[in-house]
Structure 1
Amino acid sequence: MPFSVSWHTLLDELEELSDGATLITPLSHERFRITDIQEHRVIIQIDETGEKRPLQREQFETLYRRVTEESGGFELDRLPPDAEPYSAVLSVHPRFEIDEERGVILERDGPTTTQLLDDAGDSERGQEKRTEPDLDVYADALLLVDALERHEVDVLEDMETDALVNLYTLLSDVQRNANDLRQNVADVLLNRLHHDRPVSGPFGSVQRTTRRNRSLKDEDDVLDTLEHAGIDPERVMGVDRGKVDDALEVTELSERDVYEITESEYVRKAEVDEDRKETRLQGLKDQLAATDGTEAEELREEIEELEDRIEELTEFKSGHAFHTPAEGGP
């Protein structure tokens, strides 16, 4: 599709934005507004400084070319200085979207989201409907965040017992369910990773690592093998691992002669980009603070429903919880 067609589609979409609609840049999370739309440029105003800045059609075309030529999306880190607003504005186009978790702007065939924080005229236009993942850890995490916001957890000693019980329950559930999901993710990643080739994401990187495990072979076989090597079986009677290792040091036997050795593959965390995580977290806080209207009300109702569910699961029932039958009783 010629850029001229996409350019006029973008201008039409910008014209339909309500007065006061605010966009946010994907990396620095700088807020700005569209103040004027012209044939060859778009004028924006930065909220924090009040500075007005023209965004030229030629620069949009350059970004458009780079995005459409990259099959996996164009990496936002490759944007020139002060070019972030171009990507945010381009996301208003119905075929372009910014994936902040992957750090890319890309072209899609289906519905897309935008960098709009609010649009009083039509807050859901051009955006996918938010859905709740069918994961236990998702519900537990929402409730945990809510609990952490409602209680002064910096001083646990001052918290009521029932609040501590609920907090402990949520922490335990999040840990268990998150670890189950982490293992499932690791199983999929294992098939995509290669040794000595870390793979990076916005928040950190992982790499494939080999874990080496040893277990002694059949005891009689071990004793017979050591005896043929000139080692008195009584020295390792009982096949104590420490004694077997001592015996190996004075013979030419290898570990595999007396140990069953297996290797298993697993994924371990190599490093964490704390700065990137903090930036993303601040962006989520900004978007939550700017959310209003129907979407915010639906989110509050969803959290309240989840809280009711967890309270039903964790409340103590008199006569049932921690009840131990007397000795000799039924």
Structure 2
Amino acid sequence: MDDDHWDDLREQCRGIESGAELVTPLSERPFRIDAADDDRIVVRFGDSDETRPLWRDQFGVFDDQLEGQAMAVDELQPGVEPYAAVLTLSSAYTVDDDTISKAPADATGGESPFLVPAVEARTPPERIHDDALLLAHLIDRLEVDEPSAVDGLATDSLTDYYVLASDVQRGADGIRQEARDELLERLGPDQELHGHFGTVRRTTRERRRPKADETVLAALDERGIPREWVLGVDPSKLDVVLSVTDLSEDEVYDTTEDVYVQKTGVDEDEKYARLQGLVTRLEELEDADGESLRAEIEDIEARLEEALTAT
């Protein structure tokens, strides 16, 4: 690989948006660029925190293989995948029809399909953190201090309030389930675990569902229990009858309406842009304000620790 192409590739690596990541073409392992040095590009894999140098000489070998021919993505070896993903950042290469090749002079290269923007590369915990931060800021800005306060909100603000609350609830439920599964591995019978913010214990609930129809009916027959006592109308079978006969729906169904608000879209790009602005503002806090905030948090933690110790 000549100096111009190597310098261009390193420049593209250094210009990647903060928080963005690449994925290997076949195994789809996420990784980020740690450094772009004179003789190597260092990457870090997100699924293992492993760092790996990608050597300039090896990029040269890959470049030679592309001379005059395309390479199918599905033929890449595991060790070559990171090289291929990084190489497609350069304007000298292009990916088309699942093949990698040198870009023609009139083609637009460098639009790598293996580059994931920062807004999409966030992990579920990072997303819930960001959504919660945006919701907290919105609550503070709109002064939503009690349920009745939403009456005075403008429609667009009320919509944002609902969407963010919905996203926080969905994200929190996802990470709650992950934490629950791990806690079940650590909790013994009748054991409680204590944290700074609360206590958990293992709880068992019984959930019943009928056995196969044949098993249930046979058990009833053995004891002389009339089958009619447990037989009912099957809605799925009733729908079939409605579709093939002249029986009307209102003859067999009582219909009620349940009106609710459905979230039909989320503008992640707008949320991320607002978040970046908010993060910048927080980072620009004067030392006194920052110290005051940290002191307040430390005081809350100390009081929680004291309360837990006292119990």
For Structure 1 versus Structure 2, the TM-score category normalised by the shorter chain is: 0.3 to 0.5
Identify, as 1 or 2, the structure richer in helix. Answer: 2
**Alignment TM-score, normalising by the size of structure 1:** 0.34
